[in-house]
């Protein structure tokens, strides 16, 4: 897993450049996650994540996101807030965290705190 540096975020939440494996799933008409699509994170904050993917997803769509952060799997329901073509190929999409269980929120928060502490050394 590769970690990079901090990025400014206009949403008032520190966004860290983080390259880690992510799977996302779209929801079917019964609100069940349907297909698992592998992607990679570009950056991450306590409010959302930006992903690089080979498949276009529509803005406003809800996704189930599963991320591998160190020894933890973090899962949440997120809303696609923007989709843009990537500089090379595929797409970059920004996802806001809409629903997250406490265990995943704790793991995400701990991960972000450790990363911030490591960068400041």
What would the pLDDT profile of 43-95 be if each residue is shown by its tens digit?
999 999 999 999 889 999 999 999 999 899 999 999 999 999 998 889 999 99
**pLDDT beyond 70 at 11:** no
Q: Which domain holds residue 37?
A: 2-120
Report pTM. Answer: 0.82
Backbone angles phi, psi at 71, to 5 degrees: -90, 5
Residue-wise pLDDT tens digits, 63-75: 999 999 989 999 9
Let me know: does 73 contact 67? Beta carbons within 8 Å: yes
Residue 39: CATH number of its domain: 2.40.10.220
Q: What is the pLDDT of residue 121?
A: 45
Question: Domain total for the chain?
Answer: 1
Q: Which of 15, 80, 8 is nearest to 42 (CA)?
A: 15
């Amino acid at each position: 897993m590769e970690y990079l540096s901090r990025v400014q975020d206009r949403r008032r939440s520190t966004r860290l450049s983080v390259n880690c494996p992510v799977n996302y799933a779209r929801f079917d008409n019964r609100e069940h996650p349907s297909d698992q699509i592998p992607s990679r994170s570009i950056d991450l904050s306590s409010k959302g994540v930006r992903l690089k993917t080979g498949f276009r997803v529509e803005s406003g769509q809800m996704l189930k996101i599963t991320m591998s952060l160190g020894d933890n799997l973090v899962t949440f329901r997120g809303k696609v807030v923007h989709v843009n073509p990537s500089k090379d190929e595929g797409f970059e999409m920004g996802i806001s965290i809409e629903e997250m269980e406490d265990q995943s929120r704790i793991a995400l928060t701990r991960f972000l705190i450790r990363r911030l502490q490591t960068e400041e050394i």
